Structure 1
Amino acid sequence: MHLRIVTINVQNREGDKRRLDLLNQELRRLEPDLVALQEVVDDGHLDELLEGTGLHGTHQSAGLPYTPPFVGRYGGNAVACRWPHHIVEVLDLRVAGAADVPWCTVAVKVPLPEVGDVLFISATAAWRLDDEAVREQQALALTDLDARHRTDLPTIIAGDFNAEPDAASIRYLTGRQSLSGRSVHYHDAWAIAGDGPGHTWSVDNANAAALFDQIVRQPGHRRRLDYVFTGSWHAHPRARCEVRAARLAFDEPVDGVWPSDHYGVVVDVDIEIDTPLRALSAGNPSAGSGFVDS
């Protein structure tokens, strides 16, 4: 089955009100199946973003019995899916050092026609430049969340991780280093199929200029912070999720208006069950055995 996945930080309701229409128009044009959205304000914002797309949206507030601080201004995480889905967990990641972060990780199970349920997670990590130790804790919590709810189909995780590919949190997620004596492996879709550096937070974007001036204060700043990850064989031995394409979106102004202070990422994948029985029928008697993560 072919899936199109999009992640975009929509920058809450800051700035030019025309941004909302630009975000909505691009979502309509892209026709995604799974969307991870960050900084969505819980005041009808999600419905406006998704109007006319045919997507079913769920905000983090639907799974929380309380309201995190600052969520009214900076928004929270949300998901949007082509099919009805249900929340399995909303994880509050306000750990020590990031008590003011209102973005909770949203995990939903989505029934894919004729394929089965897939776990889809929208995530945001701590944003400060010196918060990598916090992001490491959040990455560990994120993979624990996946382990609690994953299905046979490879988990899909998308969002704004506020870390470059060589950061410890991203290296951990992609199997290139351990954290706290633990290791995992997910595929970074851009590393597989993206063209170029894939910067999603850039000085070239006028909407980001004020924040760059406030916290970076260096010229020519560009980073890849937004990702789509897919679970690998180690945790999903009976299925596969093959990345076919990865590109940027929401990365151009329209009539001088930028859609957001982040660019989005669009990823196309083919996902399917590949059972041990199928491998056995192909003449491989060792298929389906061996060392497999549960």
Structure 2
Amino acid sequence: MPKAELQRRSLLAGLAALPLAGCATVMPGASRGLTVATFNIWHDAGGRWPARLVLLASALRAVGADVIALQEVLEDRRKDLPNQADTIARQLGYPHVHFVAVEPEGAPKRYGNAILTRLPVIAVARHKLAPLADSRTAIRVRVQSAAGPVDIVATHLAWQPEAGAMRAEQLADLIAWLPTDGVPLIVLGDFNAPLDDPGLSAMGPPRFVSALPPGAAATTLNPARGHQPRVIDHIFVEPAAFAVTEARVIGDQPVGGEYPSDHFGVMARLMRR
């Protein structure tokens, strides 16, 4: 084979391998930042969904999150209500939406959790949490960030104040369900309990820390909608994998007397270690 032809084929083979190498390694200078947010959107409560949708989209757009977790997402064909996560994703221009509900696909009404992302999606898994009688779910989306794969998990735990033991059971089931391949993990959602609730002990150090530390916010429940102030919406990260550079409540200001939800959202900017 002529030398020039051999060099040409070697060059083509090297170029063909570049996309695979880019997926497998972190390129020099790649951003190691990741922004996430969680918001309990309060399904279609109060008949004010169109107005609240505008406010939810505005609050989330201002954050510019790479990944968004949503709770109390409703899809109700009987009311001609499309999946609310799909609607929010279209408003914000997110290409990937993944939803989980206890009801089967095709059911006239489905209610659950969702993850929206503009990052490439590697894998998706859905799970019904024990005890099944409480109808709680979790969804995991593995995304490809600039610094490598990350597992994002969204969930919504038992709401009763006395349900600490049930929340502990739900979290134990969730953690047992997660992969053990070392991919960094972020768990977001409405945990229906403050950080000092014994039912959330599995989300404490050394494996996890709250991106929003104790005292950083007065409440994530909206007092204007009849709630006692408590911080029950959380973003838990693995401190071995992430440093928190910013965390705060979002969607906590009314517009024309209307709020996005009966909860406030939480956002966090993270830096991969």
Q: TM-score range by the shorter chain?
A: 0.7 to 0.9
Query: Aligned residue for 2:6?
Result: none
- Please say if 1:58 is aligned against 2:98: yes
Q: Cα deviation per residue 1:167-186 (whole Å; 9 max; x = unaligned)?
A: 112233113xxxxxxxx620
Question: Offset at 1:135?
Answer: 0.2
Cα distance, 1:139–1:100 mapped onto 2, change above 3 Å? closer
- Please say if 1:27 is aligned against 2:60: yes
Q: Is the 8 A contact 1:246 1:265 kept in 2?
A: yes
Query: Aligned residue for 1:143?
Result: 175
Q: Secondary structure of 1:60's partner?
A: strand
Query: Aligned residue for 2:151?
Result: 119
Query: Aligned residue for 1:157?
Result: 187
Larger % of helix: which?
Answer: 2
Rounded to whole Å, the distance in 2 between the matches of 1:91 and 1:131 is: 20
Rounded to whole Å, the distance in 2 between the matches of 1:122 and 1:140 is: 15
Query: Aligned residue for 2:129?
Result: 93
Query: Aligned residue for 1:270?
Result: 271
Report the identity percentage. Answer: 28
Q: Secondary structure of 1:205's partner?
A: helix
Q: Secondary structure of 1:24's partner?
A: helix
Q: Secondary structure of 1:222's partner?
A: coil
- Please say if 1:200 is aligned against 2:220: yes
Q: Is the 8 A contact 2:100 2:126 kept in 1?
A: yes
Q: Is the 8 A contact 2:217 2:248 kept in 1?
A: no
Rounded to whole Å, the distance in 2 between the matches of 1:53 and 1:195 is: 31
Cα distance, 1:140–1:100 mapped onto 2, change above 3 Å? closer
Q: Cα deviation per residue 1:197-235 (whole Å; 9 max; x = unaligned)?
A: 441014x222xx2xx5xxxxxxxx2111000011243xx
Question: Offset at 1:188?
Answer: 0.9
Q: Secondary structure of 2:86's partner?
A: helix
The number of residue pairs the alignment matches comes to 233
Structure 1 portions without partners, runs of 5+: 176-183, 213-220, 234-239, 273-294
Rounded to whole Å, the distance in 2 between the matches of 1:149 and 1:172 is: 16
Match of 1:228 among 224, 235, 248: 235
Return the TM-score normalized by structure 2: 0.78
Q: Cα deviation per residue 1:215-267 (whole Å; 9 max; x = unaligned)?
A: xxxxxx2111000011243xxxxxx3110111000111110111101111010
Q: Cα deviation per residue 1:70-114 (whole Å; 9 max; x = unaligned)?
A: x937x2000011213154421101506xx243x41001110113x
Q: Is the 8 A contact 2:123 2:143 kept in 1?
A: no
Q: Cα deviation per residue 1:23-74 (whole Å; 9 max; x = unaligned)?
A: 112222221101110011133311211224232211115xx782699x937x
Match of 2:43 among 9, 12, 21: 12
Q: Cα deviation per residue 1:108-151 (whole Å; 9 max; x = unaligned)?
A: 110113x22111100110111111110010111122223x2554
Q: Is the 8 A contact 1:195 1:246 kept in 2?
A: no
Query: Aligned residue for 1:49?
Result: 88
Q: Is the 8 A contact 1:27 1:50 kept in 2?
A: no
Letter in 2 for 1:229: F
- Please say if 1:72 is aligned against 2:94: no
Match of 1:130 among 151, 159, 162: 162
RMSD of the TM alignment (CA)? 2.4
Q: Secondary structure of 1:201's partner?
A: coil
Letter in 2 for 1:84: P
Rounded to whole Å, the distance in 2 between the matches of 1:253 and 1:267 is: 21
Structure 2 portions without partners, runs of 5+: 1-31, 76-81
Question: Offset at 1:269?
Answer: 0.5
Cα distance, 1:86–1:45 mapped onto 2, change above 3 Å? farther
Q: Secondary structure of 1:133's partner?
A: helix
Letter in 2 for 1:48: T
Rounded to whole Å, the distance in 2 between the matches of 1:68 and 1:87 is: 22
